[in-house]
Structure 1
Amino acid sequence: MNNKSILINLIAVVCFISCKNKEAQEPVEEVKANTFDVIVDLNIQKDDELILFYKDASIAYFDEKNTVYNGVKGKPEAQTVTFSVPEGILPNDIRFDISSKKDQQPIKINSIALSYSGRTFKIEQRDLLKYFTPNEFINFDEATGTASFTEKEGNYDPIFNTKPAIYVELEKIENIKL
């Protein structure tokens, strides 16, 4: 073998190893530091999909376009579910759809935290009804923080709407006047 073919073979091996190493690397997940997050600590027994609706000053009503879906695996112990609103959006109102499954077992809400840019407001279980109102599809036990669900006339849409007290806290977290 002459020097030229050794050099060509060496370059081919280096290129092959280099390409192989690039394939083996794990993808890097982009961390978005400036998202508004709603962090829910709950006990949920069955798999479900929870939904956070949000709106800002440019949106008059909650709509499907402004939602964050979060599939949750049911398990006996408490777990944390984080809803991150897209970067650059600061909501002036939120709505929490706590269950999408008609056969869901009661869900215990331990706390809900609102977080943005290092500032957090945490709503403990005992204070949930100060900031949220369950709709007619939820039977909420304030003492235990447990929501059980009912179907009405074939409809099922358990939602926690916000109360005006939360708007002041949103302003503080976002450090703006709404």
Structure 2
Amino acid sequence: MKKQLIFINLVLLTFFIGCKNKEEVAPVEEVKANTFDVIVDLQIQKDDELILFYKDPSIAYFDDKNTVYNGVKGNIEPQSLTFSVPEGVLPNDIRFDISSKKDQDPITINAITLRFEGRTFKILKGDILKYFTPNEFIKFDEATGIVTFIKNGENFDPYFLTKPAIYPEIEKVRGAQL
């Protein structure tokens, strides 16, 4: 009995010493860049690729270098797409390309949110036309938020451009003093 007790104490002592010498390693959290985000809440039936173009004061025109692509899987349920502008870039203007597929079904936009460093500005579907202008390939119903596409031969490039009313809101989200 005495030998068993000594053996058990020896095993427990070895276990505790072994555990004490091992360093506790805390899990490493992924640090995300603090980016300017444009979040689009929508319903889209078919897979597609949507594009956000952005400009800052140093960029005169929208171009392919300053874009964020976001592939989306079609789903009847609403979903959110987040377009994160690269870290360090604070846009002062955006353009939102709503579809790249000529056979896309109508898309419903429920809201568009601008977000940076905890500041947000949310545009609900009824106010989208206050801040954005659809181009000639889009018919937008502000009551329902439904975007239908207008085909014009081989040409197809549906997008929304900003209106001047959004610029002060972008500046507020960016944290600029007005």
TM-score (norm 2): 0.82
Alpha-carbon displacement from aligned partner over 1:13-63 (angstroms, at most 9, x marks no partner): xxxxxxxxxxxxxx975511x100000000000000000000000000000
Q: Which residue does the alignment assign to 1:59?
A: 59
Q: Which residue does the alignment assign to 1:71?
A: 71
Q: Which residue does the alignment assign to 1:161?
A: 161
TM-score (norm 1): 0.82
Comparing 168-177 with 108-117, which one deviates more in the overlay?
168-177
Q: Which letter maps to 2:119? A: R
- Alignment RMSD: 1.5
Q: Which residue does the alignment assign to 1:125?
A: 125
How far apart in 1 are the matches of 2:146 and 2:132?
A: 13
Q: Equivalent residues in 2 for 1:2-81 (5 A)?
A: 30-32=31-33, 34-81=34-81
Alpha-carbon displacement from aligned partner over 1:95-139 (angstroms, at most 9, x marks no partner): 000000000000000000000000000001110000000000001
Q: SS state of the match for residue 76, structure 1?
A: strand
Q: Which residue does the alignment assign to 2:4?
A: none
How far apart in 1 are the matches of 2:37 and 2:113?
A: 8
How far apart in 1 are the matches of 2:52 and 2:30?
A: 22
Q: Which residue does the alignment assign to 1:99?
A: 99
1:85 has 2:61 as partner: no
Q: SS state of the match for residue 75, structure 2?
A: coil
Q: Which residue does the alignment assign to 1:175?
A: 175
Aligned residues: 151
- Structure 1 gap ranges (5+): 1-26
Larger of the two Rg values belongs to structure: 2
Identity of matched residues, %: 71
Q: Which letter maps to 1:127? A: D
